[in-house]
A and B are shown apart, each in its own frame.
Chain A
Amino acid sequence: MADSPEAIKKHIKTYLLVGATLFVFTAITVWIAYIDLGTLTRNITVGLLIASFKASLVALIFMHLNHEKGLIYKFLVFTTIFFLSLMVLTLLALSDPMFSESFR
């Protein structure tokens, strides 16, 4: 079992390492925000990629998603789908009905 005392003892180092990585990448996020990458879009993309990386570390290691039971992943599949649709929804802000097919 993954959560036995022996296994947990082995994980202690991992937890510390993940904590340190999160600290380092926070510093990198701040540093990169003031570096000119060409366009603001690029800065935003890089910032979000780093944030996503940090978030995955928290989810996988701290929240034990790297060794969880199947049911939880089933929940998360739906969560992901709904979350992505919420984000895709924002693309509507860029659409212009004047140029859509139905308007012609």
Chain B
Amino acid sequence: MQIPYEVSPRPDTGLYNAKVGIWLFLASEVMLFGGLFSAYVFLRVGADYPFPHHRLDVTLGCTNTFVLIASSVTVVFAWVSLKLRKWGNFVLFMTITILCAATFMVIKGFEYHAKFTHYAVRLTDGSVLEGHLEDKTIKLGGVEHTLAGDMIGFDQITEITLDPRKYGGSLFKNLVGDGGTGVDGHGDLVSINSKDLENHAEAAEDIGDDAYSNEFDAKFAGADTEKMKEATAAAQKLREKAGPMKQIRVNGVGLDYDLEFVIGEPPASGESKVVVALDGGALAVKIFDPTGQVISDRKEAEMLRKTEVSALKALFGTETPKVPVVSEDNKPELIKKATTAAGLTNVAIAFKSTQVFAYSENEVVLRDGTILKGKLVDDSIHLFPDGVDLRNVEDLDMAAAWDLVGNDSEIKKAFYEERAKNMEIELEKQKTRQAKGIDYKVNTRYTETLFGFHPHHDEAAHPDSKGEGGEGAHGEEGEAGEKGKAHGDHLVIPREQVKFYSNFLPRLNTYYAIYFTLTGLHGLHVVAGAIVLAWFLFTGKKMYDRNPEHLANRVEVGGLFWHFVDLVWIFLFPILYLM
């Protein structure tokens, strides 16, 4: 079928049809990106933490801006070449445009890679160490294994309880793999008596199908508060037996290790505890400080926010069924059978911390509800630091980061030198401002206690350490960086001291969330645009010979989209990299 008005303009609009189409599409694209830009403003204005400022690699971002602008120019010239009927020139300019798009995506890839491999570790006092994970060697199942620096190793596992009610132990089975060869694709499983486990998993699955439907009926028949209370009490008993958890995490947020959780009476003086009380069916939480006093409302609210009450609920009650806790007492009869069916020997497994919901010295609960009983071997985080952020610490000298890095370390010295230098600049600023009659207060807390340095390291062994680093954490880090080089070894951070850690991905904070959303969507546009333009380049000759004006119009429309992609980046670059 012949589509009308693809070359000659339609009389009423004065335009060929494709142009009307692309402009309507671009109008909707403006809405799409507009909504996200507006989300960025909301997140920035509403941020309850110092919003990252000058934290991305400006050189890469700036290079990408030049690359996109260059491609915008060449795509115009590709269109001009067609209008002037010069096929050779069109091929040349279009090829350059597509190469520019590829360059843009490769550079973007480097930037993303730097984010994926760069970690921030928040310690219990709020100080943050940034750096790269170092592989560690731990002995599991009698054999030494080299694992990623944040893995959690469990040995001598004697009992595995799959929870068929929710996810059927799907995560665990995925870890173990189907073949039962002992090592799966993830490299997480170290050694296991596979036959036993296979039988075990199968049995649990069969039983689980029945158990699941019963459970489902019960849940939707109406809440039985009496039963819930019983279950909560049973869960409490189990917890008492197991001792305090070493770590509890919900949605990636770790809870306070210092605090033990009990249900009922407030603790005696000298203990720091969280008390969970059943209060008319709903769970109420009170936090007591070491003197036995209830912590003030404001501080309590603050602590509650930090420690995610939902996690407590999930741990103690059956109110929130997403995270199942199966205890000896509330476990349905059928599941009990599955548990005892196992006769495991010489089982050892290492987990990524993202796979774990909670664990103690002798028990680990996976995110799918699977419970393993065994012996915790190693859960430390091995980190090569390249930055310190003390903006949330009251007393810089007492920051927990220094205990780990070393109080006499070159890093600490360099940090203070840098800080003194910045302070001087700030004071100078204040002086000149006040001379002009402008009210200006030195704000050191916001910027000067964030410090990045180039680690002294074998570059060949750790090419990643250059990527993002503390680059641009502040303008003049060169000198301090040199001094940081005296520091050699990586840190071994005990898990008890880690409140939260993550690579620089959306889960770290809202800035990286919106950064990845905006640049990711923009990157997809670059890829899509490049595919369309490449299509014109490689299949256009036929159309050019038949009706060159038709191809010119197509390229114009494709070019309009391409300019729009460039236009979005013109705003993205300063907003994300420079402001």
Chain A contacts to B: CB under 8 angstroms = 3, 5, 8-9, 11-12, 15-16, 18-19, 22-23, 26, 29-30, 33-34, 36, 38, 40, 43-44, 47-48, 50-51, 54-55, 58-59, 62-63, 69-72, 75-76, 78-79, 82-83, 86-87, 89-90, 93-94
Contact = CB atoms under 8 A, between A and B. Distances in A.
Contacts of B14: 69-71
A50 B53 CA distance: 19
B65 A26 contact: yes
Contacts of A22: 69, 72, 570
Contact of B574 (A12, A16, A51, A93): A51
Main SS class of interface, B:
helix
B574 A50 contact: yes
B4 interface: no
A26 B573 CA distance: 9
Interface stretch (B33-41, B159-167, B307-315, B512-520): B33-41
A29 B578 CA distance: 8
A50 B573 CA distance: 12
A12 B77 CA distance: 8
B42 A90 contact: yes
A19 B62 contact: no
Given A23-B66, A54-B570, A89 B83 contact: no
B146 interface: no
Nearest to A7: B83
A86 B62 contact: no
B27 A19 contact: no
A15 B73 contact: yes
B45 interface: yes
Contacts of A51: 570-571, 573-575
Contacts of B570: 22, 51, 54-55, 58
Contact of A83 (B20, B31, B73): B31
Contacts of B46: 93
Given A33-B579, A51-B574, A89-B38, A8 B83 contact: yes
A93 B41 contact: yes
Contacts of A12: 77, 80
A16 to B, nearest CB: 7
A63 B560 contact: yes
Given A8-B83, A55-B570, A79-B27, A23 B34 contact: no
A90 B41 contact: yes
Nearest to A78: B27
Nearest to A19: B73
A101 B9 CA distance: 55
Interface residues of B, number: 51
Contacts of B77: 12, 15
B31 to A, nearest CB: 6
B567 A55 contact: yes
Nearest to B35: A86
Contacts of B573: 26, 29, 51
Interface string B64-77: 01100110110011
Nearest to B572: A51
A44 to B, nearest CB: 5
A2 to B, nearest CB: 11
Given A23-B66, A59-B567, A71-B13, A15 B80 contact: yes
Contacts of A79: 27, 30-31
Given A19-B69, A71-B15, A76 B45 contact: no
A45 to B, nearest CB: 10
Contacts of B42: 90, 93
A15 B84 CA distance: 15
Interface in B482-528: none
A15 B76 contact: yes
A58 B80 contact: no
Contacts of B262: none
Contacts of B73: 15-16, 18-19, 62
Nearest to B425: A36
A63 B61 CA distance: 24
